[in-house]
Amino acid sequence: MSFLTIVNIIILLLLIIGLFYMQKKHVSFSKRVFAALGIGIVFGLVLHLIYGTESEVVSESMDWFNIVGNGYVKFLQMIVMPLVFISIVSAFTKMKLANNIGKISGLILAILVGTTAISAAVGIATATGFKLESVQIAGGDAEAARGEMLDQKFSEIQDRTLPQQIVDLLPANPFLDFTGARPTSTIAVVIFAAFIGFAFLGVKRKEPEHAEMFAKIIDAFYSIIMRIVTIILRLTPYGVLAIMTRVTATSDYSAIWKLGKFVVASYVALLIVFAIHLLLLTLSGLNPITYVKKVLPVLTFAFSSRTSAGTLPLNVKAQTKDLGVPEGIANFAGSFGLSIGQNGCAGVYPAMLAVMIAPTVGIDPLSPSFIATLIAVVAISSFGVAGVGGGATFAAILVLSAMDLPVALAGLLISVEPLIDMGRTALNVSGSMTAGVLTSKITGELDTNVYGNPTHELEA
């Protein structure tokens, strides 16, 4: 390890100590997260300016920084499956989902898929407005390699039909799904937990003493799991600091500059869809500013970490503690949002790519038939997109192949993929949280006192 790497590590440790001092002084969670975000950006830019992107010092330093950043993400991923499972079962034992689970699930799915269709329309309009075309992007060796990889992925999934994708959502081996082995493992765990919940209701009618014992066991496990979540969430500012330092220190700014038009267009589209989320909340009678203030720490982590799955504990806790969403609905919305109807990865992104690539094969992207077909394909293909890095690539392959467009051309954007993926992930999480809040409002189960209370804030 070089001397300069040691210096960088010491600086990071001092910054972590500073954030810990802020916690001891009872500075709010939101302020600590945003402080970590800002400090991480500045520290990363300084490292980039001093050493450059390809520097061995930066590479070596990031290996050590990843202990904090990637380690935090792994802790969050560790608790995702237990949290989803125990929360869904607990909702049944506490009689919070027993009477209207079908209506709740239907509303959440409708909102997720509906907003993804809207996101596709926004992506089409933005790509057209900015006059984006794939021929404007020059490809190098990295882009060619990425294109070959996409072609290979396409060959692996090209024969999968929509019914097969739906079947993939079902749990064949719940113990395997608890490991997160499949892209749809989270949904499978939700379904398995629902089966256990319905079985509990049946046992409660016939053998109430056994049901009572089971409910007490579930309550005990739920308390332990939520305590683990609280402990992990206390590490959020440190994780954000390390992750943002890595992002800004290792980004290829020359490539970002060359593809600046696409980056700007992507973020314009993402912001428009986020504004649509706020509009839907406004139309339902809720204050959108309150929503923004309470979910910003969650979206900040989603932005920096680029993982919807890793953000799930923050997502669920913010919905229940700060937005007044019942636990059962929050867990269904958060869990479904990991694999279904991701507004950023499965909505905006593949729609923009399709519009950019269509002219290369002689298709008019502005024809009504193309637009209508593309929106429908995007909505349908949004089922089963993984809530981890690579989900957008999978969604793009599905949409482009369904539209008979060359899949490999999506590899042209590899150099700015991480930067765009940050915004896409934040929008995915906002979409699932919006679905949870709207579903609660429609079913009359939203605690408006908690939602409207400005003193309620995500805390850890």
**pLDDT tens digits along 181-234:** 776 787 788 889 889 988 998 998 889 899 999 999 999 998 999 899 889 888
Question: Hey, CA dihedral for 36, 38, 39, 41, is it positive or negative?
Answer: positive
**pLDDT tens digits along 39-58:** 999 999 999 999 987 789 99
Residues 6+ apart with CB under 8 A from 287: 281, 451, 452
Q: What share of the chain is helix, strand, coil (3-state, %, to 5)?
A: 80, 0, 20
Residues 6+ apart with CB under 8 A from 239: 68, 69, 71, 72, 73, 301, 305
| Residue in 274, 195, 260 with CA at minimum distance from that of residue 420 | 260
Residue 97: the pLDDT is: 60
| Residue in 333, 304, 334 with CA at minimum distance from that of residue 229 | 334
Helix 185-206 vs helix 208-233: crossing angle, to nearest 10: 150
CB 423 within 8 A of CB 344: yes
φ/ψ of residue 252, rounded to 5: -90, 90
CB 272 within 8 A of CB 73: no
Q: Is the pLDDT of residue 150 over 70?
A: no
Does the predicted TM-score (pTM) go above 0.95?
Answer: no
Q: Which domains, ranges and CATH numbers included, belong to the chain? A: 3-452 (1.10.3860.10)
| Residue in 336, 335, 322 with CA at minimum distance from that of residue 446 | 322
> Who wins on pLDDT, 78 or 416?
78
d(CA 15, CA 8): 11
Residue 261: the pLDDT is: 85
Q: Is the pLDDT of residue 388 over 50?
A: no
Q: Is the pLDDT of residue 102 over 90?
A: no
The DSSP code for 383 is B
Over residues 129-155, the mean pLDDT reads 63
User: Using 50, 70 and 90 to split pLDDT, how confident is the model at 389?
Assistant: very low
